[in-house]
């Protein structure tokens, strides 16, 4: 059982969480009439289909591409990977609202706030251990000697040391009042399968606190000081942290990267660059770059310089990063580290001034990729030239700009000693082939979306598509109009929850009716307490697709109800309801005519 937050508090949190400002801190929004549009953060797209409706009676968002939608709480749930209570707490903290919970918090429901508080305490503990002769002498020598970090840099990044002890951090956090559940949920400790006892997750490692842009310690990375494996140990996803949505040192870099940002592979590369003045450097956290990472970077900078290791793995990672970053419209250049295996080693050998020259020599994505292709083949050989041309055509076809393609076609033709129009024709054929494949994929996706077969939100729908479609029509109309809700809640519609075929439909119908009959009345946002973020998106989609039915909604509602009732044997083959059909029609019409809008639909 999740802790309940008083409804009036939730309403205040939503009222004081301006949806335009909240979503605008994650998504670049542009005005489109009274609404706002942007690139959806929940699926990969080129043209913006994500729309925010800030001036509706219930401000909400909806993506016409993937169907994600809901209120400001649902958005935070999805973007921050939080449950309902944690999302409300997140927005409350943002708005400066104190949340009193009615009832006790379940021990398994660890709040984001508690994990953040615990992380800060752990970071201070690790930092103190680094300077404690009982624990951190070797680690301090490693950082200041082998890694050549100054005391100021160590302090700036809050670096620390986790003692080589199975229980020292556990005991410390217990002493501060943190529970076993909070420590395991926050990834501070693990639990032995054999003894069932807690043990410190990080041991005998140099510690790197991960700090978000708001200054919260959200996670840790721990590095060994020798060649043992694994070299790095990182916090897994917690109530306060998701790897794919955080970048190391962005809390510092955000103020220095308006023009360009340097993307590195590891913590030490970033720290080394910051130490010599390149404070626009960041790194992903033990994982490959994601679309979420790219969208975050796009919020802060116009251009990203990829600065990965010079080995084959680094080159492959750079190629992926270029694709992902290019997909969100960020300009990309690639810096080739020469004379060293990584930026950290280069800085130690040659200093910051030489690194600045490498930045000046960084190449465009096309230059980087084309050089790699040309290095693979002997272009003096006919077969080699053919293979190189095929790869370059595929690379050039990736670019959406006509101008860019024309430039790169000319460059490729020049390098391969081929006519530019020949390469251009091949590029056009390749793009036409891709367009055809893309159209086919969109068609398949559209069909799957319409049918909703095999979806996780409503898996029962595939068993009876007709009934599922009728249910979603009913739910959508109930979400739109208070008169429809009255008809459902009072029985005038002739339906109850047992008439619904799918579990999702049953729950939605039940909750809508319950809220309608509650002291405060219906409010869409209040559904979030008992539905997941994905389920809220489905409910928003149901509502969105039925908005245009407001004029003849009563007739459509009755027809959809008839589908369910026939399936349940409550309506005859001639369409008549058991009982007085005309009476039910009159009751429904009366509900429609007499019930005023309550302003919260």
Token pair, residue 62, equals 């909806």
Mean pLDDT of 451-461: 68
Same domain, 192 and 318: no
Answer yes or no: is 481 within a domain.
yes
pLDDT over 50 at 531, yes or no: yes
Structure tokens at 2: 């999740």
Task: Give the strand pairing for 303-307 and 331-334.
Answer: parallel
Tokens of 596: 């005023």
Residue at 148 is within a domain: yes
Question: In 10 A of CB 458, how many CB atoms?
Answer: 20
pLDDT at 528 over 60: yes
214 occurs within a structural domain: yes
Domain finish residue from 386, 421, 451:
451
Is 104 among the domain residues?
no
The domain spanning residue 277 has which CATH number? 3.40.1360.10
In this structure, what token pair is assigned to residue 504?
């999702």
Residue 569 has what pLDDT?
65
Would 2 be classed as within a structural domain? no
Alpha-carbon distance of 350 to 588, in angstroms, equals 81
Same-domain pairing of 514 and 577:
yes
CATH no. for residue 221?
Answer: 3.90.980.10
Q: Are residues 264 and 219 in the same domain?
A: no
What's the whole-model pTM score?
0.61
CA distance 338 to 345: 10
Query: What angle separates helix 365-376 from helix 382-397, to the nearest 10 degrees?
Result: 160
Alpha-helix residue ranges (DSSP H) falling in 41-132: 72-80, 84-95, 112-130
Q: What is the number of structural domains in the chain? A: 5
For 49, residues 6+ apart whose C-beta sits below 8 A from its C-beta are: 37, 40, 63, 64, 65, 66
What the block records as the tokens of 146 is: 């082998």
The per-residue pLDDT for range 297-323, each reduced to its tens digit, is: 988 898 999 998 877 788 888 888 888
Q: Per-residue pLDDT for 2 more than 70?
A: no
**pLDDT tens across 252-290, in order?**
999 899 889 999 988 999 999 999 999 999 999 877 888
Asked if residue 169 and residue 143 are part of one domain, the reply reads: yes
Query: Helices 112-130 & 84-95, crossing angle to 10 degrees?
Result: 70
Q: pLDDT band at residue 453, thresholds of 50, 70 and 90?
A: very low
Q: Write the Ramachandran bin of 208: left for phi over 0, alpha for psi from -120 to 50, otherwise beta.
A: beta
Domain with 274, as residue range(s), is: 250-361
Q: Indicate if 187 and 232 belong to the same structural domain.
A: yes
Point out the domain boundary residue: 241, 259, 275.
Answer: 241
Residues 438 and 468 in one domain: no
- Report the pLDDT value the prediction gives residue 565, as an integer from 0 to 100: 85
Decide which of 179 and 7 is more confident.
179
Q: Which of 361, 389, 414 is the last residue of a domain?
A: 361
Backbone torsions φ then ψ of 122, nearest 5 degrees: -65, -40
Closest CA to 100 of 88, 118, 109: 88
Going by C-alpha positions, the residue among 249, 240, 298 that lies closest to residue 38 is 298
75 and 30, same structural domain? yes
Residue 133: inside a domain, yes or no? yes
Residue 479 lies in a domain: yes
Residues 120, 27, single domain; the answer is: no
Q: Note whether residue 498 is domain-resident.
A: yes
Q: Are residues 151 and 235 in the same domain?
A: yes
In CATH, what number is assigned to the domain containing residue 46? Answer: 3.90.580.10
Judged against a pLDDT cut of 90, whether residue 350 lies above it is answered with yes
CA proximity to 47, closest of 395, 328, 297, 301? 328
Regarding whether 376 and 319 lie in a shared domain, the answer is no
Q: Are residues 135 and 204 in the same domain?
A: yes
- Does 273 lie in the same domain as 232? no
- Main-chain phi, psi angles of 136, to 5 degrees: -105, 10
- Give the Cβ contact number of residue 557 at 10 Å: 27
């Amino acid at each position: 059982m999740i802790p309940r937050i008083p409804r009036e508090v939730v309403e205040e949190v939503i009222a004081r969480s301006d949806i335009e400002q909240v979503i605008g801190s994650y998504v670049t929004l542009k005005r489109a009439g009274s609404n706002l549009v942007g690139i959806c953060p929940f699926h990969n797209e080129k043209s913006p289909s994500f729309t925010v409706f800030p001036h509706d009676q219930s401000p909400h968002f909806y993506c016409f591409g993937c169907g994600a939608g809901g209120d400001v709480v649902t958005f935070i749930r999805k973007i921050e990977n939080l449950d309902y209570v944690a999302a409300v707490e997140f927005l409350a903290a943002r708005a400066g609202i104190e949340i009193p919970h009615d009832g006790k918090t379940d021990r398994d429901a660890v709040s984001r706030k508690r994990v953040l508080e615990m992380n800060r305490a752990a970071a201070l503990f690790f930092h103190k251990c680094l300077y404690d002769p009982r624990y951190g002498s070797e680690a301090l020598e490693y950082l200041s000697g082998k890694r050549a970090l100054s005391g100021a840099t160590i302090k700036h990044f809050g670096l620390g040391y986790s003692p080589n002890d199975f229980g020292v951090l556990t005991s410390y956090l217990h002493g501060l009042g943190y529970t076993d559940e909070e420590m395991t949920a926050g990834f501070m400790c693990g639990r032995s399968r054999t003894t069932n006892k807690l043990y410190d997750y990080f041991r005998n490692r140099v510690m790197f606190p991960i700090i978000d842009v708001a200054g919260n310690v959200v996670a840790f990375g721990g590095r060994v000081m020798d060649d043992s494996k694994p070299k790095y140990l990182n916090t897994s996803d917690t109530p306060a942290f998701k790897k794919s949505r955080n970048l190391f040192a962005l809390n510092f870099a955000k103020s220095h990267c308006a023009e360009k940002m340097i993307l590195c592979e590891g913590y030490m590369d970033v720290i080394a660059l910051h130490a010599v003045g390149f404070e626009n450097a960041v790194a992903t956290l033990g994982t490959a770059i994601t679309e979420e990472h790219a969208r975050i970077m796009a919020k802060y900078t116009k251009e990203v310089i990829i600065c990965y290791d010079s080995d084959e793995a680094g080159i492959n990672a750079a190629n992926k990063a270029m694709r992902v970053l290019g997909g969100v419209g960020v300009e990309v250049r690639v810096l080739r580290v020469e004379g060293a295996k990584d930026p950290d080693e280069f800085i130690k050998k040659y200093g910051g001034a030489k690194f600045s020259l490498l930045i000046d020599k960084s190449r465009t994505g096309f230059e980087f990729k084309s050089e790699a292709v040309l290095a693979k083949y002997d272009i003096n050989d006919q077969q080699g030239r053919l293979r190189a041309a095929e790869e370059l055509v595929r690379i050039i076809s990736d670019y959406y700009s006509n101008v860019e393609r024309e430039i790169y076609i000319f460059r490729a033709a020049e390098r391969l000693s081929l006519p530019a129009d020949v390469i251009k024709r091949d590029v056009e054929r390749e793009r036409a082939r891709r367009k055809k494949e893309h159209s086919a994929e969109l068609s398949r996706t559209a069909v799957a979306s319409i049918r909703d077969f095999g979806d996780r939100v409503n898996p029962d729908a595939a068993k009876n598509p007709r009934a599922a479609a009728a249910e979603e029509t009913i739910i959508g109309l109930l979400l739109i109009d208070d008169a429809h809700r009255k008809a459902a809640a009072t029985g005038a519609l002739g339906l109850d929850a047992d008439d619904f075929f799918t579990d999702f439909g049953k729950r939605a119908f039940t909750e809508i009716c319950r809220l309608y009959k509650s002291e405060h009345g219906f409010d869409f946002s209040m559904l979030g307490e008992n539905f997941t973020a994905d389920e809220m998106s489905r409910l928003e989609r149901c509502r969105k697709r039925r908005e245009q039915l407001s004029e003849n909604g009563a007739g459509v509602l009755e027809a959809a109800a008839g589908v369910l009732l026939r399936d349940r044997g409550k309506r005859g083959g001639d369409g008549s309801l058991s009982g007085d059909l005309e009476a039910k029609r009159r009751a429904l019409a009366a509900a429609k005519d007499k019930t005023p809008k309550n302003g919260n639909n």
